[in-house]
Amino acid sequence: MRIVIEGAAIATVDAAGTEHGTGHVVVSDGLVEAVGAGPAPDGPADRRVDGTGCLVTPGLVNTHHHLYQWATRGLAQQSTLFEWLTELYPVWAGIDDKITHSAAVAGLVRLAKTGCTTAADHHYVYPRGGGDLLASVVDAAGQVGVRLHAVRGSMDRGRSHGGLPPDSVVEDLDEALAGTAAAIDRYHDPAPESFVRVAVGPCSPFSVSPELMSGAAELARDKGVRLHTHLAETLDEEARCLAELGCTPVEYADRTGWLGGDVWLAHGIHLSDGAVARLAATGTGVAHCPTSNARLGAGTARIADLVAADVPVGLGVDGAASNEDGGLGVELRQATYLARLRGGPAALSARDALRLATMGGARCLGRQDELGSLEPGKLADLAVWRLDGVEHAGIADPVAALVFGALPRIALLLAGGDPVVEDGICRTVSEVDAAAALRSASEHLLAKVTR
């Protein structure tokens, strides 16, 4: 299809930060054909979109999520991370492929309705007899129509080996590596227009052995895929690393091959000046999850310092069990506000936040040449935000309206040029059915725990 959007404000998020007060975007065959000021060039169109009163941005990129957690929202409401994990791991031990699929569909619908066209999902819980959980997530993304970076996670340190999760949800070293290799072979598509890519993702230093960390890094580089894990999320994690390993989390990542331009780390809250410099020197990315960090009281990440050091930084929603909203668009404001609480009102601008959610995320996922900005030749992943309601009336700056105002309704969301959301409604799957399936899955899962 050839789609022409005209009359909208446009934030391209290109290297120059080009914006148009009133402009056009032309999409053809899944790519951005043209973007600029004023009316679109003459030419045929299968569809014309009146963008008056709207802002067009690149589709948002979610760099960290756990979609299965959509079935366990609202639990452990006043817990630290380790307390929260201790309470929820026994619940997650009951997930299966059907529960995971229902949670993933609902979670991806919510992400799409909040401007997200690419989502990285870190799945690391594999209960015995649960079925093919990763296939459930991949299938859900295909139904909703957004791009998926499926992070094949793993854990090999259950409670019997000093870890937090029950032994029933962890794998041994060989199982984890073999399962990860199989997922890459089955699902990873390195093509520029790919809708599914796979990354390697041992869960965290306190749930994974050094052998799995090192082996997973070697596997990822042998297969030519990216690496993702949780790191430096809490002070408890740092204390545990110092006690068990004699080093900080970033030093441990360095030892085990987990720093580099093909790595992005979730959270990265508790970082020394030296750690920030080391991430910058190695090109290691950080997925910043402001709402989840606040929900768990984990701390406020040094986002302004990381950005100033040119560390690739993207935004992440994290699992809905620690971020019940589950939307990505709202993280623009959250990231801005938390950065300013730490560093003052100039720490992060509205445009800085939009860049984190678009080009920053694309850099973390290694797709900056394909995604993250509105430029001819790039993939036609874009969001048309409606700003003409009372919620944004009087805000002359459309980017400020998006970031500081109420989250706008999506007039149109395209992924690869195909509509996913129109007028605030997901068009690819039934929201009513998705909500009903999630409700049933959640009730079924919680009933397992109480039996």
The span from the CA of 140 to the CA of 429, in Å, is 10
Encoded tokens for 281? 């020197």
Average the pLDDT over 325-335 and give the result: 98
Q: Which pLDDT score is estimated for 448? A: 87
Q: Domain 60-364, CATH 3.20.20.140 — does that match? A: yes
- CB 34 within 8 Å of CB 41: yes
Cα angle 161, 167, 173; round to 5: 70
In this structure, the number of other CB atoms found within 10 A of the CB of residue 409 comes to: 18
Encoded tokens for 376? 């001819």
Residue 317 has pLDDT above 80, yes or no: yes
Q: Which pLDDT score is estimated for 186? A: 98
Nearest by Cα to 256 from 206, 201, 212: 212
DSSP assignment string, 84-111:
HHHHHHHHHTT--HHHHHHHHHHHHHHH
Tens of pLDDT, residue by residue over 342-378, are 999 999 999 999 999 999 999 999 999 999 999 999 9
Residue 108 has pLDDT above 90, yes or no: yes
The span from the CA of 117 to the CA of 370, in Å, is 13
Which CATH number does 2-58+378-425 carry? 2.30.40.10
- CB 300 within 8 Å of CB 342: yes
The span from the CA of 269 to the CA of 303, in Å, is 9
Residue 450 has pLDDT above 80, yes or no: no
Tens of pLDDT, residue by residue over 48-78, are 999 999 999 999 999 999 999 999 999 999 9
The span from the CA of 382 to the CA of 139, in Å, is 22
Domain(s) of CATH 3.20.20.140: residues in the chain: 60-364
- CB 198 within 8 Å of CB 182: no
Tens of pLDDT, residue by residue over 131-188, are 999 999 999 999 999 999 999 999 999 999 888 888 989 999 999 999 999 999 999 9
The span from the CA of 404 to the CA of 365, in Å, is 26
Q: Which pLDDT score is estimated for 162? A: 86
**How many H helices and E strands in the chain?**
15, 17
- Please report, rounded to a whole number, the percentage of residues in the chain having pLDDT higher than 90: 96
pLDDT band at 271; cut points 50, 70, 90: very high
- CB 56 within 8 Å of CB 374: yes
pTM, entire model: 0.98
The span from the CA of 152 to the CA of 168, in Å, is 18
Q: Which pLDDT score is estimated for 357? A: 98
Q: Which pLDDT score is estimated for 49? A: 98
- CB 316 within 8 Å of CB 63: yes
Average the pLDDT over 239-245 and give the result: 94
Residue 87 has pLDDT above 90, yes or no: yes
Which uninterrupted H or E stretch holds 10?
Answer: strand 2-11
Tens of pLDDT, residue by residue over 410-441, are 999 999 999 999 999 999 999 999 999 999 99
- Tell me the residue type at 270: H
Q: Which pLDDT score is estimated for 451? A: 63
The span from the CA of 163 to the CA of 167, in Å, is 9
**DSSP tag of 360:** I
Domain(s) of CATH 2.30.40.10: residues in the chain: 2-58+378-425
Residues 6 or more apart whose CB falls under 8 angstroms from that of 59 comprise: 115, 116, 117, 118, 358, 371, 381, 382, 383, 413, 414, 415
